[in-house]
């Protein structure tokens, strides 16, 4: 969809759909419903959205932990699902994912070192000595002292555990890492350290990140581009500065204005847009524009016609019938 | 709230000014564990005036939640001791009888929690649960209780309350459940509402709705709010005063704007610096080195000194909560010499400035 797609896209997503059957098997929840984007090599691509928007589902589909029910995900221009099984298995090692809660991601009965070694063992990478060396390198890389290797997860702090999970993802030298709410469980004073680590690893190892979070401050700090998701679709996608300072979609505008700002009252301004109601059910989403039920600018056309995904400004995409009207934006 | 307390000489905090609704003095909580007795919090001093909105901030484990629970004496069974006093409108909650406590709890002091689903009983309708509080405390008739429940549901912004009153908790969304909890907590018209991370489980657009509601209700009914949170943004938007806790102690107490613009404690300043909102985009985020000392092994004197860039000889001495004038207090003996950066200095260069600048 984006023009410069083919050459520098490490991941290309085309009209992606992921559906889940409800437990009573009567309906399909379309968690992701027609999303297209490219992730460019070496960038950090941020996806923000509220709970139920489908952002985590996209993240899992990108590394094929979930199978798309429609559309395609290409890694480096190739569809991994078309690969023979064995090739697919080794291909996946280049695309890793890190989750929010390191406690759930680490086996409490395995030492830190054996957790970090496990991906290498599963991949049968090199000799035993080489595997050990690579595990130690990865721990070193994330700033974990080697003697922590003999300990168990409960003996580590939250920040250290998240570093272990990062080290484990690095052992197979991936090209891309999907980071799903990786700092949400960490305390404020530690969050900065872990975000700095991600930035440093990207610089040194040429990694590409897909950074999924509900936290606007985090995503706009770390990402080059941000996609805003609402009820299974992207509503806006563009360079971080543009999206966070000159948002085009009314939902992005509301999301930005709802973020509580740690600023004195004189600096906070009074431009809050308080949305009414909550995100509708993805089982039966509103017709046309999915945000129209909560949008202060909604017109009749918004219920009738699904807004096109348009590149309104260079590299800045939006799905809204009225985003190009000059009097529309509160800016 | 600066006017509520004239600047005092000396370092000792004088017990509750004439206007205080609640005065907490020397509050400390000890727990029995298999490893001995642990001091979770100590020397907690603060006041809350009627109708005042006070934020209690700090990271996990700093003792902010247990401080809220100790005011209502909702403490776990392994409690080893509750020290100090909690003077609330003439009663010492730390020493009053269980019977007196029960008359205050839910009626004059109410509390809401982070996760409304675990605070609501799934087998009763929300109307029943709200009315129950009222009927237990005031003995009004069933009809009147229902009437007042409907009115309360309307006040907390529930659409078509006649229909919602007979819903069960699972039929409501997360934001509506938190509104129901707020309705149940305010139905008896309490003088103080303790809200422990009331919006942490909610999405940011719903969070904005709930915070606005809490602010409005507190203003219109003159209910004091004690908002416990880790989110400095939430405090800045909702409260007038901010109490920062670290490792079981109050380390700073100031009007929100003062604390944000010119924090007096290095920890408060460090927290503000580590926020990505206030940092140049893609730059290195400042962080506080090290970690919170373990409850089993608390250092002498200042508990922050091992992580503090301004620590010098003398910080190992016991630190009192000093009066810094204009109703401000800080637990750092060097506060007069230090000139610490606050939110303002960072915001000028940070992305948030652009967000704020747009009218």
Structure tokens at A18: 């992921």
At B141 the three-state DSSP class reads: coil
Q: Which residues of B touch A268 (CB under 8 A)?
A: 236-237, 356
Sheet hosting strand A95-98, strand order edge to edge? A95-98, A176-180, A208-213, A44-48, A225-230, A233-239, A316-318, A310-313
Q: Which residues of B touch A245 (CB under 8 A)?
A: 351, 354-355, 358
A142 and A229 housed in the same domain: no
- Of A170, A204, A220, which marks where a domain is finished? A170
Establish if A324 belongs to a structural domain.
no
Contacts across the A-B interface (CB distance below 8 Å): 157
CA angle at residue A99 from A94 to A102, to 5 degrees? 115
A71 and A196 housed in the same domain: yes
List pLDDT tens digits, range B219-278: 999 999 999 999 999 999 999 999 999 999 999 999 999 999 999 999 999 999 888 877
Inter-chain residue contact A263 with B343, CB threshold 8 Å = yes
Mean pLDDT, rounded, of chain B = 88
**Alpha carbons B57 and A158: distance in angstroms, whole number:** 19
A291 and A196 housed in the same domain: yes
List pLDDT tens digits, range B65-88: 999 999 999 998 899 999 999 999
Binning pLDDT at 50, 70 and 90, where does residue B160 land? Answer: confident
Scan residues 200-219 of A and list those with Cβ closer than 8 Å to B: 214, 216-218
Establish if A100 belongs to a structural domain.
no
Beta strands in chain B (DSSP E): 22-33, 36-48, 53-57, 79-88, 91-92, 109-112, 192-196, 224-229, 241-246, 249-255, 322-325, 328-330
The predicted complex's ipTM stands at: 0.83
- Of A132, A152, A170, which marks where a domain is finished? A170
Establish if A105 belongs to a structural domain.
no
Inter-chain residue contact B232 with A262, CB threshold 8 Å = yes
- Nearby residues of B339 by Cβ (< 8 Å), 6 or more positions away: none
Q: Which residues of A touch B59 (CB under 8 A)?
A: 187-189
A136 and A206 housed in the same domain: no
**Alpha carbons B224 and B235: distance in angstroms, whole number:** 14
List the single residue in A50, A257, A266 with the smallest CB-CB distance to B203.
A50
Would you identify the CATH topology of the domain B17-239?
Rossmann fold (3.40.50)
- Give the pLDDT confidence score for residue B33 in this predicted structure: 87
Report the range of poorest mean pLDDT among A38-52, B111-125, B277-291, B317-331: B277-291
Inter-chain residue contact B256 with A264, CB threshold 8 Å = yes
Establish if A286 belongs to a structural domain.
yes
A44 and A179 housed in the same domain: yes
**Alpha carbons B287 and A191: distance in angstroms, whole number:** 8
- Give the pLDDT confidence score for residue B43 in this predicted structure: 94
If one compares B4 and B172, the residue with the highest pLDDT of the two is B172
A79 and A202 housed in the same domain: yes
Establish if A125 belongs to a structural domain.
yes
Burial pattern B134-147, b for ≥16 Cβ within 10 A else e, equals bbebeeeeeeebbe
Structure tokens at A179: 């980071």
Inter-chain residue contact B347 with A263, CB threshold 8 Å = yes
Q: Are the C-beta atoms of B70 and B235 separated by less than 8 Å?
A: no
Q: How far is CA A111 from CA A123, A130, A144, A186, B255, in A?
A: 19, 19, 14, 22, 47
A160 and A201 housed in the same domain: no
- Give the pLDDT confidence score for residue A107 in this predicted structure: 95
- Give the pLDDT confidence score for residue A28 in this predicted structure: 87
Inter-chain residue contact A260 with B260, CB threshold 8 Å = no
Residue B353 pLDDT greater than 60, yes or no: no
Establish if A206 belongs to a structural domain.
yes
- Give the pLDDT confidence score for residue B287 in this predicted structure: 84
Binning pLDDT at 50, 70 and 90, where does residue B3 land? Answer: very low
Chain A interface test: which of B171, B176, B198, B203 (most A C-beta within 10 Å): B203
Residue A1 pLDDT greater than 50, yes or no: no
Residue A86 pLDDT greater than 60, yes or no: yes
A231 and A207 housed in the same domain: yes
Inter-chain residue contact A189 with B359, CB threshold 8 Å = no
- Give the pLDDT confidence score for residue A126 in this predicted structure: 87
- Give the pLDDT confidence score for residue A308 in this predicted structure: 95
Establish if A84 belongs to a structural domain.
yes
CATH number, residue A226: 3.40.50.300
A299 and A234 housed in the same domain: yes
Least Cα separation, residue A126 to chain B (angstroms): 36
Residue A327: Cβ-neighbour burial (10 angstroms; 0-12, 13-18, 19+) = exposed
Structure letter (DSSP) for residue A259: S
A155 and A199 housed in the same domain: no
- What is the biggest distance separating any 2 CA atoms in chain A, rounded to whole angstroms? 67
Beta-carbon-side half-sphere exposure of residue A14 (alpha carbons within 13 Å): 13
A116 and A80 housed in the same domain: no
Q: Which domain holds residue A65?
A: 5-94+174-318
Inter-chain residue contact B359 with A271, CB threshold 8 Å = yes
A181 and A280 housed in the same domain: yes
A252: left (phi over 0), alpha (psi -120 to 50) or beta: alpha
List pLDDT tens digits, range A187-242: 888 888 889 999 999 999 999 999 999 888 899 999 999 999 999 999 999 999 99
Which residues belong to CATH 3.40.50.300 in chain B?
17-239
List pLDDT tens digits, range A239-296: 999 998 889 999 999 998 888 888 888 777 667 788 877 788 888 899 999 999 999 8
- Give the pLDDT confidence score for residue B8 in this predicted structure: 41
Number of domains in chain A: 2
């Amino acid at each position: 969809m984006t023009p410069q797609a083919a050459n520098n896209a490490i991941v290309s997503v085309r009209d992606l759909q992921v559906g889940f059957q409800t437990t009573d098997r009567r309906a399909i929840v379309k968690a992701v419903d027609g999303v297209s984007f490219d992730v460019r090599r070496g960038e950090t691509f941020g996806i923000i959205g509220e709970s139920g928007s489908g952002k985590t589902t996209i993240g899992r589909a990108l590394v094929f932990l979930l199978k798309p029910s429609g559309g395609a995900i290409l890694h480096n221009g190739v569809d991994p699902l078309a690969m023979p099984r064995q090739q697919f298995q080794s291909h996946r090692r280049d695309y890793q994912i890190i989750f929010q809660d390191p406690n759930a991601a680490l086996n409490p009965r395995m030492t830190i070192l054996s957790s970090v070694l496990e991906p290498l063992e599963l991949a049968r990478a090199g000799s035993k000595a080489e595997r050990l060396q690579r595990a130690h390198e990865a721990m070193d890389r994330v700033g974990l002292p080697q003697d922590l290797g003999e300990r168990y997860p409960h003996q580590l702090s939250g920040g250290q555990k998240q570093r272990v999970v990062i080290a484990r993802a690095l052992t197979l030298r991936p090209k891309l890492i999907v980071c799903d709410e990786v700092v949400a469980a960490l305390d404020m004073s530690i969050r900065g350290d872990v975000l700095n680590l991600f930035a440093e690893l990207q610089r040194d190892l040429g990694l590409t990140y897909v950074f999924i979070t509900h936290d606007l401050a985090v995503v706009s700090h770390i990402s080059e581009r941000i996609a805003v998701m609402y009820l299974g679709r992207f509503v806006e996608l563009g360079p971080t500065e543009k999206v966070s300072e000159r948002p085009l979609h009314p939902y992005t505008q509301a999301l930005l204005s709802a973020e509580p700002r740690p600023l004195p009252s004189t600096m906070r301004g009074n431009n809050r847009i308080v949305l009414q109601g909550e995100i509708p059910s993805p089982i039966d989403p509103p017709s046309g524009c999915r945000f129209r039920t909560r949008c202060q600018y909604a017109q009749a056309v918004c219920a009738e016609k699904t807004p096109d995904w348009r590149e309104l400004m260079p590299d800045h995409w939006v799905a809204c019938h009225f985003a190009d009207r000059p009097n529309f934006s509160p800016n | 709230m600066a006017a509520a307390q004239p600047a005092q000489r000396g370092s000792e905090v004088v017990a509750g000014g004439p206007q205080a609704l609640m005065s907490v003095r020397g509050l400390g909580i000890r727990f029995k564990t298999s490893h001995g007795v642990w001091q979770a919090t100590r020397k907690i001093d603060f006041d809350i005036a009627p109708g005042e909105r006070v934020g209690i901030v700090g990271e996990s484990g700093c003792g902010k939640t247990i401080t809220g629970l100790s005011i209502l004496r909702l403490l776990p069974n392994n409690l080893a001791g509750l020290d100090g006093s909690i003077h609330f409108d003439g009663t010492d909650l730390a020493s009053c009888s269980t019977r007196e406590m029960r008359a205050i709890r839910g009626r004059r002091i109410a509390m809401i929690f982070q996760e409304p689903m675990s605070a609501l009983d799934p087998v009763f309708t929300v109307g029943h649960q709200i009315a129950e509080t009222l009927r237990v405390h005031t003995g009004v008739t069933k009809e009147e209780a229902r009437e007042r429940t409907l009115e309360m549901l309307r006040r907390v912004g529930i659409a078509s309350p006649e229909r919602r009153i007979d819903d069960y908790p699972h039929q409501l969304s997360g934001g509506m459940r938190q509104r129901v909890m707020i309705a149940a907590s305010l139905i008896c018209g309490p003088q103080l509402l303790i809200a422990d991370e009331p919006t942490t489980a909610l999405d940011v657009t719903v969070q904005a709705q709930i915070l606005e509601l809490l602010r409005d209700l507190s203003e219109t009914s003159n209910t004091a709010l004690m908002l416990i949170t880790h989110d400095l943004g939430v405090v800045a938007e909702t409260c007038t005063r901010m109490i920062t806790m670290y490792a079981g102690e109050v380390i700073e107490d100031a009007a929100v704007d003062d604390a944000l613009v010119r924090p007096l404690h290095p920890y408060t300043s460090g927290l503000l610096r580590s926020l990505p909102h206030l940092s140049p985009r893609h730059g290195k985020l400042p962080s506080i080195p090290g970690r919170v000392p373990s409850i089993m092994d608390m250092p002498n004197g200042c508990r922050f000194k091992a992580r503090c860039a301004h620590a010098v000889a003398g910080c190992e001495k016991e630190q009192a909560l000093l009066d810094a004038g204009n109703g401000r207090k800080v637990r750092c003996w060097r506060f007069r010499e230090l000139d610490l950066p606050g939110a303002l200095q960072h915001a000028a260069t940070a992305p948030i400035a652009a967000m704020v600048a747009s009218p």
